[in-house]
Amino acid sequence: MTKTRVLTGITTTGTPHLGNYVGAIKPAIEASQRPDVESFYFLADLHALIKCQDPRRVQQSRLEIAATWLALGLDTDNATFYRQSDIPEIPELTWMLSCVCAKGLMNRAHAYKAAVAENEELGHQDMDKGVSMGLFGYPVLMAADILMFNANKVPVGRDQIQHIEMARDMGGRFNHLYKGQYFTLPEAVVDDKVEVLNGLDGRKMSKSYNNTIPLFVSEKKLQKLVRKIKTNSLEPGEPKDPDSCTLFQIFSAFASAEETATMRTDYENGIGWGEAKDRVFEYLNVHLREPRERYNALLEDPGHIENVLKQGAEKARAEAQPLMERVREVAGLGRFV
């Protein structure tokens, strides 16, 4: 059976929340269990340094995110799960790609353009104020992440499609310059069926908005956060619109079709907000109880997580080392004998 290679990176700058689970973690873990998919999942801790220079936060986030994926059932026998920083071939390939990447391509990167636009709006004379080379060049690092393992498909949000196109550009340029098919040109996969959850305030759930519900908070904290979810002023007995309600959206992202249909009927019949919030909390709490216990046990055993990631790095480097030897050779950096 020919397997499709799928690669996903997880930036290690925060604590995973319900939106991360529904939008990225759940579909990725399901893919990791498919026999026709060869999955590569990595902690993008080198990327994290672009945004965060707090070593304790980066370190803790790496631990929490690794524990989250393992607690939720990532199949590490079928998938390759590793830390980006454990693969020294990735920064080496980043440099090789930088040498064939046009600066003009980086000038058009969304993150860099947004930083320049913000400086202009604030009236700064230096349009590059606050822009590090990490921010400017991080699409090259992302391209190296992808091309290193010749991924066929990379699941991304629409705002990341540009980066996959850039990876294709760099891979194709290298192939052309050195006259060979060294890199597979990846395809962006945007699943419009994957839901984007709203947060406590009704906006997209995001650490940037400080409106998230972390996946594995305590039962008491989870209940408190669910009760903070913004609702309207309709009284019990008054019909409510489930399709414009964050509570209903979160519930339906976890519930079965039958359970969702029942809740929809209850909305139409005027369920009170207090009852609706209690029901959402109870459902989430039951759904997350076992993985929460596994997650907490994993945090108490960082040695186990370290061993899993080391094994993943060995698998990843078994792929990366031969490719880099070939890339060095064709670029004129091979051994003399």
What are the binding residues? 11-13, 19-20, 145, 157-159, 197, 204-208
> Strands 4-11 and 37-44: what pairing?
parallel
Three-class SS state of 204: strand
Between CA 327 and CA 181 the distance in angstroms is: 11
Q: What residue numbers does the annotated binding site for ATP cover?
A: 11-13, 19-20, 157-159, 197, 204-208
Q: What residue numbers does the annotated binding site for L-tryptophan cover?
A: 145
φ and ψ at residue 127, rounded to 5 degrees: -70, -15
Q: How far is CA 205 from each of CA 20, 273, 293, 300, rounded to the nearest angstrom?
A: 9, 20, 24, 28
Distance from chain centroid for Cα 153: 15
- Positive or negative CA dihedral for 253, 258, 264, 266? negative
Ranges of H-type helices in the chain: 18-20, 26-32, 45-51, 55-71, 89-98, 103-107, 110-121, 133-148, 161-177, 219-227, 246-254, 257-268, 273-299, 302-330
Residues found in the chain: 337
Tokens encoding 69: 């994926």
Angle among Cα 290, 296, 302 to the nearest 5 degrees reads: 130
Per the CB < 8 A criterion, the answer to whether 310 and 87 are in contact is: no
